[in-house]
């Protein structure tokens, strides 16, 4: 019996393991990674996939196959990787050594719509951008925008791990606000200076006055803040944001800032009405690698549904994702849905081919 057959009989299939981990409060990055793996068929040599509390484990029959997966993940997400090997057995007569290899991957602890406070040294490298920025999306680089000026920047994996920082707010802390008034900044009112970085031409900076949705109708004064969402907001709209003024954040970079430079409210994105109605009206779907990665994939799985909302609202975010028509979806009344809600067009959808998911061997 050959070595491969011996390992098979001993239930010792895998020789290399890729551990993917992220210290974050949601799993949206892993749902995005899953779609990239499916699109590029990067899991073709995978023996098995096991979901873990804070990530995924990929098992391979050879070190080379594992290295290919590491290289793929490195090309689509900002990560750092450590490599180790463990001696399993060796033959003193033939001088043959058998190892099991482990690649430990850590993804940056950031996700779309998080707010971060950058180290002072890094803000100077990025064109003197404001320290408090919004994470627009996390792809092969970290895309940030300064709501105060509309300035944008991309942070590579190398730059991030040289100057690491953590989110000060995450999407689970978003609060609903109602826009009471909005004033678009005129050109001469915009902040500009020599050496300033790139300013987004897709966003409009505006002064906006908001009140909490839960306090609407009460005797409270509107809170002023500056936002990059002037192109889509109008009085009466509902917008999601973070209440930085009343939050208790432990962050070394934030503690070094003047209190007056920290906004009381940081607006993140427009709220497009009841989410359950949006989900019922969704006429598209995504493929999955394995059912065990989506245990509890129902309306209660907020991380996954938030990921689908992100795809719907951000065309740039869904460029690398294969989206399929859902032929089984029953048409529903869309009167409760904001007509300005970004939609995924039929031109962006692929026909759903009946292809069974690849069965993964138990490991």
* Residue 234 burial (CB count, 10 A): 11
**What is the pTM (predicted TM-score) of this model?**
0.85
Q: Which residues contact 304 (CB under 8 A, 6 or more apart)?
A: 27, 31, 294, 297
Between CA 201 and CA 214 the distance in angstroms is 33
Contacts 24+ apart (CB under 8 A), 249-256: 249/168, 249/169, 251/117, 251/166, 251/168, 253/117, 253/118, 253/119, 253/120, 253/131, 253/165, 254/117, 254/131, 254/132, 254/168, 256/120
Mean pLDDT value across the chain? 86
pLDDT of residue 12: 57
Q: Say if residues 233 and 208 touch (Cβ distance below 8 Å).
A: yes
Least confident range from 68-77, 158-167, 188-197, 235-244: namely 188-197
pLDDT digits (tens, 9 = 90+) for 43-101: 889 998 888 888 899 999 999 999 999 999 999 999 999 999 888 777 777 777 788 99
pLDDT of res. 173: 92
Q: What percent of the chain has pLDDT over 90?
A: 53
Alpha-carbon span 329 to 281, nearest angstrom: 8
Q: Which two tokens stand for residue 81?
A: 């990787």
pLDDT tens-digit series, residues 9-49: 545 578 999 999 999 888 889 999 999 999 999 988 999 88
pLDDT of amino acid 297: 42
């Amino acid at each position: 019996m050959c070595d491969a057959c011996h390992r098979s009989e001993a239930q010792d299939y895998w020789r290399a393991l890729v551990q993917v981990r992220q210290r974050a409060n949601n799993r949206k990055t892993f749902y995005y990674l899953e779609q990239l793996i499916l699109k590029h068929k990067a899991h073709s040599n995978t023996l098995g996939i096991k979901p873990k509390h804070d990530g995924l484990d990929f098992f391979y029959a050879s070190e080379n196959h594992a290295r290919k997966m590491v290289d793929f993940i490195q090309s689509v997400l900002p990560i750092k990787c450590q490599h180790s090997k463990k001696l399993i057995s060796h033959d003193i007569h033939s001088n043959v050594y058998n190892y099991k290899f482990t690649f430990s991957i850590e993804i940056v602890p950031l996700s779309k719509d998080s707010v971060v406070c950058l180290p002072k040294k890094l803000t100077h490298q990025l064109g003197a951008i404001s320290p408090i920025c919004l994470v627009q999306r996390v792809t092969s680089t970290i895309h940030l925008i300064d709501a105060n000026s509309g300035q944008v920047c991309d942070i590579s994996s190398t730059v991030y791990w040289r100057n690491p920082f953590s989110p000060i707010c995450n999407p689970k802390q978003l609060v609903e606000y109602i826009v009471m008034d909005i004033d678009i900044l005129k050109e001469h009112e915009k902040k500009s200076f020599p050496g300033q970085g790139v300013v987004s031409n897709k966003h409009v900076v505006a002064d906006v006055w908001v009140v909490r949705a839960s306090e609407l109708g009460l005797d409270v004064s509107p809170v002023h803040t500056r936002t990059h969402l002037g192109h889509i907001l109008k009085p009466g709209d509902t917008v999601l944001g973070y209440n930085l003024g009343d939050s208790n954040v432990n962050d070394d970079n934030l503690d070094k800032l003047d209190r007056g430079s920290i906004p009381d409210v940081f607006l993140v994105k427009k709220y497009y009405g009841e989410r359950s109605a949006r989900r019922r009206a969704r006429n598209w779907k995504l493929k999955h690698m394995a059912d065990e990665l989506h245990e509890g994939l129902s309306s209660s799985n907020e991380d996954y549904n938030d990921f689908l909302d992100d795809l719907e609202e951000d065309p740039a975010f869904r460029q690398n994702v294969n989206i399929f028509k859902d032929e089984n979806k029953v048409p529903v009344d869309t009167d409760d849905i904001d007509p300005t809600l970004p939609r995924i067009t039929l031109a962006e959808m692929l026909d759903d081919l009946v292809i069974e998911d690849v069965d993964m061997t138990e490991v």
